[in-house]
Structure 1
């Protein structure tokens, strides 16, 4: 599933804002390793989106359940 250019730009912007923001889903000061892992997953998703023009659905779904 490829995305429109405007959706791609918005997702990259939201991802970068999330990485820069001090507010995280899993804060680094509570659980340091998991806090870094959630940032890494977001960074990987942004990279995959820019590089391959699609989100890495294999992180969330197997091939049978791909939307």
Structure 2
């Protein structure tokens, strides 16, 4: 987890990143559904600090459709 200079977790920041991850996943799933996808494979996450006290979380993957043969 995130650590302060004295070694403790920054609980509020950890919770904020978790919420951001959930939002990113929901947006990815919604976009895949809009494209008619059946699943998303190869999901990855990225994060970066955009300014002091603010970070972004990115979720990306490949939307796929299952073809009946």
TM-score > 0.5 by shorter chain: no
Look at both structures and tell me which one has the larger radius of gyration over its CA atoms.
2
Q: Which has the higher helix share?
A: 1
TM normalised by structure 1 equals 0.35
Q: Which has the higher strand share?
A: 2
TM normalised by structure 2 equals 0.35
